[in-house]
Chains A and B, each alone.
Chain A
């Protein structure tokens, strides 16, 4: 039986230019359904209606950063089991380990190849699904 395909991605990024090009890439090239917004507050306002399967979060955002946004979104029943991928322009020593500890699947570092991004996300998603199956999840 094939793995369930990833469909709905909730994407939070405060940089409007990046948000637009990533949304385009994920929708046009990846055929994903994408809800894109610029802040944690905006994400919280649409998460229940959208029921995301995956959270794609910029790390450095003013007011509420990526890790805090993930925590707040996961308090909602509609996103409590949604895994997260972080996007950042800067990964410092120890960041990856710290992110994994709080349940982040992977980190995509900016600048990224905008054409390859959908495939990269799909790959991370499939790896996650496989690990769930291996663990009997």
Chain B
């Protein structure tokens, strides 16, 4: 019979693996939403949705042992937060920074996913 602690550890490992497995799709959705918003950068509702998706990654990343995801998402969130205050700040250089932050996030997600596929990514309970 397994203890509650062991049962939790098993569930944590399962949920962490599921989080990593879903990462490519999450990043894809985020990337699509970013591209859609860049077409209409004054759309506040789209920017809010995008910011929320990024915000969720910050919380979930480190919780599931992927602190690089949280760090990269935090950088992206900061750029987006500046625009949420005033979307007219969406200059070409700010857009470039946002795109670079998105690429960094994608790169980190790809790295973790590949590592996991090789069986190399080990998550701990924080």
Contacts and interface: CB of A to CB of B under 8 A. Distances in A.
Q: Is chain B found bound to chain A in the same assembly? A: yes
Interface in B1-33: 4-5, 7-8, 11-12, 15, 18-19, 22
B11 A62 contact: no
Contacts of A18: 56, 59-60, 63
Contacts of B11: 21, 24, 28
**B interface, size bucket:** 20 to 34
A15 to B, nearest CB: 5
A29 B5 contact: yes
B55 A60 contact: yes
Interface string A1-22: 0000000000000110110110
Interface residues of A, number: 22
Q: Is the interface of B mostly helix, strand, loop or mixed?
A: helix
Main secondary structure of the interface of A (DSSP, over half): loop
B92 to A, nearest CB: 27
A21 B62 contact: no
B126 interface: yes
B35 to A, nearest CB: 20
A115 B13 CA distance: 13
Contacts of A33: none
Given A18-B60, A24-B15, A113-B126, A62 B52 contact: yes
Interface in A80-121: 89-90, 110-116
A78 interface: no
A111 B61 contact: yes
A114 B4 contact: no
Contacts of A51: none
Contacts of B64: 17, 21
Contacts of A21: 11-12, 15, 63-64
Contacts of B67: 111
Given A28-B8, A62-B49, A110 B125 contact: no
Contact of B12 (A24, A89, A90): A24
Q: Which of B5, B19, B77, B125: most chain A Cβ within 10 A? A: B125
A90 B55 CA distance: 9
Per CB-CB distance, the 7 closest pairs between chain A and chain B, nearest first, are A111-B62, A110-B59, A89-B59, A28-B8, A113-B126, A89-B58, A111-B63
